[in-house]
Structure 1
Amino acid sequence: MRLIPAQIRAVAAAFDGLPGVGPRAAMRFARHLLAHRGEGEGLVQALQGALTDVALCADCRSYTVNSECAFCQHWQTLDNRQTRCLVVEQPEHLQQALDAGWSGTAFVLHGLLSPLDGQGPLQLGLDRLDELLRAEQPPAALIVALDSSVEGRTTAHYLSTLARRADVDCQAPGWDVWLEQAAGSLPDPEEKS
């Protein structure tokens, strides 16, 4: 006999499918939302809005509610023929790069190559990145700033190969190294000129 209704088990199963959430935490989340129905309704509305309105930018693959994100719209107004393109794993990495003073174009992968998890080149939009590298006016350089995990290094190697085939200079310093260098190159706000 099952005391917990199928609907609650379904909510817990949906949470359990998220990365980093196990079955016990998933059931705790489901119980919490039932005990605090206002929060549950807010979550449902937020998810519906996000699933309906948010898409990937046609150029950089960051999140947007239009066909292009504000970041790419800004870059279209500039002469970016000789700019560099920063490749990052997630949109929050792009935000950190912008906060650190990044002033080139960007491309967001939304993951790393991981065949065991079903993450191949197409899932990461690498066909689109290859098009950008082979365009009439490709970026002057590709900077691959990814995690230093095995998947990150594998993805960086794959991207270096794409860049080499397109005759585009490629650097792959790793995310932490790149971010530290970028932050170090900004003027100190405490320092007076």
Structure 2
Amino acid sequence: MHACARKNATCGYGTSGTPEFLPVFNGTLKWFYVIRGKAFGLFLGGHFGVHGSPRLRCHRLQNMKTSNALIQQLLRAEEEAEQIVHKARENRVKMLKDARASAEEELKAFRLKEEERFKVEVEQRLGQDDSLTNELADRTKADIEIIKKDYMANKDGVLAFISGKVLDVDTVIGPKKVSILRNYAERGVDP
């Protein structure tokens, strides 16, 4: 690319190797590409003059090559950064899964330990409760035997008392009941 005599224009070498004139918009060409006959560039302030030395042109081409290399380096760095972030996310997910699995294993071990401790404690209490249960069962059997003996001893007397009350009806009316019945009769009320 070199500066050109026409105001507001720059020229670049196209695919044919001949200069191609492009409008500059009163700006300085910061970088410039001609790809398949189309020009691409960034313009910043000023305009170009007619004569550009071959040395300056070579320097500008060298700067463009360096810029391209830097852009490629930035793109590679961006891809590497994306890969690093992706790996970090995968590692985080993996670490969370590992932490959850190890926590579940620890929980299982703790649960088994506590269940064993509970079983031992229950067996100890049941062992003590068995002796209490046996004492209670013995007392209950003794009380039942006493009740059976009392039943056998008092059975005849209770039957005689109940049957006597049911079968022996007192037919005599007491003086209080007689006065109540007379009072009803005087008023004309049926008792």
- Into which bin does the TM-score normalised by the smaller protein fall? under 0.3
Greater helix content? 2
TM-score by length of 2: 0.17
Larger Rg: 1 or 2?
2
Which of 1 and 2 has higher RCO (CA within 8 Å, sep 6+)? 1
